[in-house]
A = this chain, B = another copy of it.
Amino acid sequence: MYRTHTCGELRIENVNKEITLSGWIQKIRNLGGMTFIDLRDRYGITQLVFDQNTHPELATKTQELGREFVIKITGLVAERSNKNNKMPTGDIEIIVNSFDILSKSEIPPFTIEDESDGGEELRMKYRYLDLRRKPLQDALILRSKMAQKIRTFLTDNDFLEIETPFLIKSTPEGARDFVVPSRMSDGKFYALPQSPQVFKQLLMIGGFDKYFQLTKCFRDEDFRADRQPEFTQIDCEMSFVERDDILNLFEKLAKYLFKEVKGLDFTEDFPRIPYDEAMEKYGNDRPDMRFEMLINNVSDIVKGQGFKVFDDSEYIGALCAKGQAIYTRKQLDALTKFVRRPQIGAKGLVYMRCNEDGTFKSSVDKFYSQEELKKWADKLGATAGDLILVLSGDKLKTLAGLSELRHEMGDRMGLRDNSKFAPLWIVDFPLFDKNEETGELHAMHHPFTSPKIGEEHLLDTNPENIKANAYDLVINGSEIGGGSIRIHDTDMQKKMFKILGFTDEEAEKQFGFLMGAFEYGAPPHGGIAFGMDRWTAIFNGTESIRDVMAFPKNNAGRDIMIDAPAEIDKKQLKDLSLKVDRE
């Protein structure tokens, strides 16, 4: 037997009990006659004592030990003279009678502490050691708990967990697929799913009524920061529902998770904000609502005063940073630099300070009188001590810039506290996204999304302006889930494919089986999919989804611990009838 208890379990009431523990050596302190060892496992840390006076041979034998050795000890629980109330086992220590080394350890390449001294690449290479650190252990424990709670909620609401296949068919639409060559069918390929979208719709047609699955999805994208080629989706679909049935149910799920996982009560309804309003007020469709600082369109009050930059702009928008009139010239220059970065690309930044004496000081004083500037302050509800920041230019680009600026100011002002949560729904997305160069329409979500109720007729006349019956759940500026009411009618689905530029043959080749399925009684249905990694990261209060994945890939899509991808045997290639062909 390796243990009677875990290293996080013993308390003052266990004093005088003979116990056995196993774990890793976190720390060794040799204080003359006494050696103290902190023994660690997933559940906690327990202090071991080796007394040179009472067990001289044992205390001497501890000299063989080192950090991260795995040992098994037997001893007596004793009350500590010097209690540590920071740890649950801090009232006791173990007077060790005997120990065995279960496994030795080299000196780890970085410290196994909350804050490690190892760089990211090194920690990725030795991920199994990095995983021993408490922040990562806690993150994966949180993730496991979230997964169970999600399943409990959904099964309690009559959802069935149904597994959909991983070896499916490539559909060139959308992001790039990972493909899997078939050995049995020469020259043919499976593809890994980017999402179970089509299969969950088929399950609705199959009559399963309510489906969910926590499942891996795959996208062969050019890697961007914090994207992973494989990620986990909480995938859900329901039949015989309208939009609000879905929003209400999944809002309940979100509140349940806030309560069960984070101990937070959300009694108010989540705001439901139309896409257009979110763009106007926050400059993006995933607003961070932990703080106000809304964007205001000030075009009407700033134009026509001779300031050519504004007069020539399609759009002029402003923010009010409460209490930030104290910003120095140097700080304002830094902000100007921030908005001029290529990622934002603004030409410049106009500011206006609301002085304590009721006057205003702007960077465009020569064009605007104090009265004119007062209009700015009134429009933004700015009062003495506030700072107004203004960007101008092309509307979409300027809104995007204002959104970034708003986040930057939120960060600087400490308004984006990761222990606070501001969830909301975005609704009424555009159905299509127009490629300005080619004029082509793309599905904003995916080609199975239905138009907003009452706007279906616009498909024939004005598809560009049609809204979708689609919705996103946003928390703290991150989209954590999205979905839609689907099309369940062959004719409308055909119309969609046509608008999206599919020929009949292409539509038939790629989605023939789904169109075929619609011919046999498809129920009205809709669903939603959440990013499990992102949601967990938000609950974990960490920025990167890597922090909540056991074995993430690096930014180049490589697993540097196992060294994958890698070359394969010539025989494997031959079996697959493939040749590597580097042109």
| Chain A residues proximal to chain B, CB less than 8 Å | 1-3, 6, 22, 24-25, 40-43, 68-70, 72, 102-106, 108, 126-132, 137, 140-141, 143-144, 147-148, 151-152, 155, 160-170, 172, 176-192, 198-199, 202-203, 205-209, 216, 218, 220, 222-223, 229-230, 232, 240-242, 488-489, 513, 517-524, 549-551, 553, 556-559, 561-569, 572, 574-583
- CB-CB nearest in chain B for A522: B103
| A137–B211 alpha-carbon span in the complex (Å) | 12
Contact A550 B163, CB 8 Å, known A172-B569, A184-B557, A521-B69:
yes
Q: Is the CB of A207 within 8 A of B41?
A: yes
**Residues of B with C-beta under 8 A to A582:** 186-187, 577
A184's contact among B151, B556, B576, by CB below 8 Å, is which? Answer: B556
**Residues of B with C-beta under 8 A to A575:** 176
Q: Identify 12 residue pairs between A and B in the complex whose beta-carbon atoms are under 8 Å apart, listed by A's number.
A: A163-B549, A167-B178, A168-B559, A168-B564, A169-B562, A169-B564, A172-B569, A184-B556, A185-B558, A191-B564, A199-B550, A199-B551
**Residues of B with C-beta under 8 A to A165:** 230, 551, 553, 559
Q: Is the CB of A180 within 8 A of B202?
A: no
Q: Is the CB of A179 within 8 A of B559?
A: no
**Residues of B with C-beta under 8 A to A106:** 519-520
**Residues of B with C-beta under 8 A to A72:** 240
Q: Is the CB of A524 within 8 A of B2?
A: yes
Q: Is the CB of A128 within 8 A of B218?
A: no
Q: Is the CB of B521 within 8 A of A167?
A: no
- Tell me, rounded to whole Å, the shortest Cβ–Cβ distance linking A230 to chain B: 5
**Residues of B with C-beta under 8 A to A2:** 240-242, 524
Q: Is the CB of A131 within 8 A of B559?
A: no
**Residues of B with C-beta under 8 A to A161:** 143-144, 147-148
Q: A106-B520, A128-B203, A578-B581 are in contact. List 4 more A-B contacts (CB 8 A).
A: A144-B162, A167-B564, A187-B580, A203-B550
A202's contact among B70, B128, B188, by CB below 8 Å, is which? Answer: B128
Q: Is the CB of A162 within 8 A of B524?
A: no
| A128–B515 alpha-carbon span in the complex (Å) | 12
| A151–B22 alpha-carbon span in the complex (Å) | 26
**Residues of B with C-beta under 8 A to A208:** 42, 131, 137, 140
Q: Is the CB of B520 within 8 A of A169?
A: no
- Tell me, rounded to whole Å, the shortest Cβ–Cβ distance linking A298 to chain B: 44
Q: Is the CB of B163 within 8 A of A192?
A: no
- Tell me, rounded to whole Å, the shortest Cβ–Cβ distance linking A535 to chain B: 14
Q: Is the CB of B170 within 8 A of A572?
A: yes
Contact A580 B580, CB 8 Å, known A1-B242, A69-B521, A568-B179:
no
Contact A488 B187, CB 8 Å, known A144-B161, A581-B577:
no
- CB-CB nearest in chain B for A43: B209
**Residues of B with C-beta under 8 A to A132:** 206-207
A22's contact among B229, B232, B240, by CB below 8 Å, is which? Answer: B240
Q: Is the CB of A189 within 8 A of B563?
A: no
**Residues of B with C-beta under 8 A to A489:** 103
| A216–B198 alpha-carbon span in the complex (Å) | 19
- Tell me, rounded to whole Å, the shortest Cβ–Cβ distance linking A503 to chain B: 15
Contact A521 B551, CB 8 Å, known A186-B580, A575-B176:
no
- Tell me, rounded to whole Å, the shortest Cβ–Cβ distance linking A123 to chain B: 12
**Residues of B with C-beta under 8 A to A551:** 164-165, 199, 202
Q: Is the CB of B523 within 8 A of A103?
A: yes
Interface centre among A141, A143, A565 (most CB of B within 10 A): A565
Q: Is the CB of B103 within 8 A of A553?
A: no
